[in-house]
Amino acid sequence: MRIADITHTASKSLTGNRNRSLLTMLGVIIGVASVVLMTSVGASIESLILGQISSIGAKSVVVFPGQVEGAQGVVQAGYDSLTFDDVDAIKNLSTVTNVAPGIMLPVDYATYGREKTEPRVIGTVPDYFKNREVTVAQGRLLDESDITAVRNVVLLGSEIADNLFGAQNPIGERVKLGTRSYQVIGVLESVGTQFFQNADEMVFIPLSTARAQSSQKYANMITMQTSVDFGFAQKDIETLLRKRHGINNPLGDPDKDDFIVRTAAQANDILGSVSLGLTLFITTIAGISLVVGGIGIMNIMLVSVTERTREIGLRKALGARRKDIMLQFLAEAVALTMLAGIIGVVCGFGLSVFIASVVSKFLDTYQFALSLPAMFLALGMALAVGLGFGMYPARKAALLPPISALRYE
């Protein structure tokens, strides 16, 4: 049989039984649509996270206390290793500018009247906001005078402000952090996740105020910017801190250090690999639904082979070889799945656009994104499903003996 004849025969048989063809395709349509939808949502979420983090810029460097296990392993919390003398020493390095330490205060609740929320309280200096490229939506940032005067003032992250004040103007109001009372001087623009933490859930008080109220002698982070290549700055900082901490680590083994130097770019890489894992996970689940769809195709093809036993017998009596019958049924299965694949891609695309338009009403930064490779992957999987699950019924049809096929009632 010629290719043109095979496709003609397949299309005729499929259109002859339109309802059944549609029902058969449904499984694959749903499978392909969910692959496209899931990967699109995954890509949107990824760009949501990465889009915000990348706004920090690659020049931003942070030194954390702690230790690395393996290449990009676990940061061990609870390290008290970075003193404020270390901070002053780093300030003297020529490769970095805007050195701004921060400490975290163990405060459970922020309250305003009856409203209550759980913030992360950070004591820091004005340069911190430059390093993180954060600006105020209302009021003002912390300034040098807040530090020198040790004022009880607070700058709220957008979510905290929203939780405590709603539509009310918070500027000038007093908020309690734990038992102490602070005056609100400003609210930050929403920024999302930076260095693995949601900056919108943070509140900021002057570093001097924070140090006066807690016995904490160590910094929880030191933010800064580097004007030169990150590698040089990192080396400078590492050499300095190892000398000051008495660590003998000429080979630069991160397991021996009691601090970690990171850039925003590195943080992006880690988040990127997390999001890749997420995408793979989602795609696997969607892929399973494709396989289920494929089993549906096989099922119906088997029914079709039984139903058309007489036709197969006739074709064999007319001179069809096993190969001809096999190709005919395989062509039907592949045509079904490819058509289903295309419909599925269109449906998945439409659904992703719809979901993006709904979600972006609640989350302005959510944007429609589409993974082109995933679309081709889904189509390729549909084709593989058609070939794989069409093979058995097609073989069964091809091996029918011609007379028993003709006699079949």
Partner 1 sequence: MKQSLFLRSSMKKTKAKKAAPLIQTIDLSKSYFNEELETSVLYDINLTIEEGEFVSIMGPSGSGKSTLMHILGFLDQPTNGKYLFRGEETRSMTDDELAAIRATRVSFVFQAFNLLPRTTVLENVILPLLYHPSIPTKERTERAMHAIESVGLQDRAYFHTNQLSGGQQQRVAIARSLVTEPDVIFADEPTGNLDSASGTQVMEVLQGLHRQGGRTIILVTHEEDMAAHARRIIHLLDGRVSSDTTKFKQVYATPHNKLKK
Q: Which is nearer to partner 1, 370 or 406 (CB)?
A: 406
Which tokens is 356 given?
């993006």
Q: Which is nearer to partner 1, 4 or 77 (CB)?
A: 4
Q: In angstroms, what is the minimal distance from the CB of 370 to partner 1?
A: 41
Q: In angstroms, what is the minimal distance from the CB of 320 to partner 1?
A: 5
Per-residue exposure over 83-110, b if at least 16 CB sit within 10 Å of its own CB, e if not: beebbebbeebebbebbbbbbbbebeeb
Distance CA 349, CA 171 (A): 45
In contact, 311 and 41? CB cutoff 8 Å: no
Which of 164, 209, 229, 159 minimizes the C-alpha distance to 189? Answer: 159
| Number of CB atoms found within 10 A of residue 32's CB | 32
Q: In angstroms, what is the minimal distance from the CB of 323 to partner 1?
A: 8
Binding site for partner 1 (CB under 8 A): 1-2, 5, 9, 12, 16, 310-311, 313-324, 401-403, 406
Q: In angstroms, what is the minimal distance from the CB of 322 to partner 1?
A: 6
Residue that the structure tokens 């931003």 belong to: 60
Q: In angstroms, what is the minimal distance from the CB of 1 to partner 1?
A: 5
Q: In angstroms, what is the minimal distance from the CB of 26 to partner 1?
A: 23
Determine the residue type at 377: L
Q: Which is nearer to partner 1, 132 or 316 (CB)?
A: 316
In contact, 164 and 176? CB cutoff 8 Å: no
Q: Which is nearer to partner 1, 2 or 114 (CB)?
A: 2
Distance CA 313, CA 280 (A): 46
Which tokens is 88 given?
């002053």
Q: Which is nearer to partner 1, 161 or 400 (CB)?
A: 400
Q: Which is nearer to partner 1, 225 or 309 (CB)?
A: 309
Which tokens is 211 given?
């140090």
| Number of CB atoms found within 10 A of residue 14's CB | 20
Q: In angstroms, what is the minimal distance from the CB of 346 to partner 1?
A: 29
Which of 42, 48, 40 minimizes the C-alpha distance to 371? Answer: 40
Q: In angstroms, what is the minimal distance from the CB of 338 to partner 1?
A: 22
Instruction: Report how far apart, in Å, the C-alpha atoms of 352 and of each of 42, 345, 358 are.
Output: 10, 10, 10
* Interacting residues of 137 by C-beta distance below 8 A, sequence separation 6+: 158, 186, 187, 188, 189, 190
Determine the residue type at 350: G
Q: Which is nearer to partner 1, 197 or 404 (CB)?
A: 404
Q: Which is nearer to partner 1, 192 or 402 (CB)?
A: 402
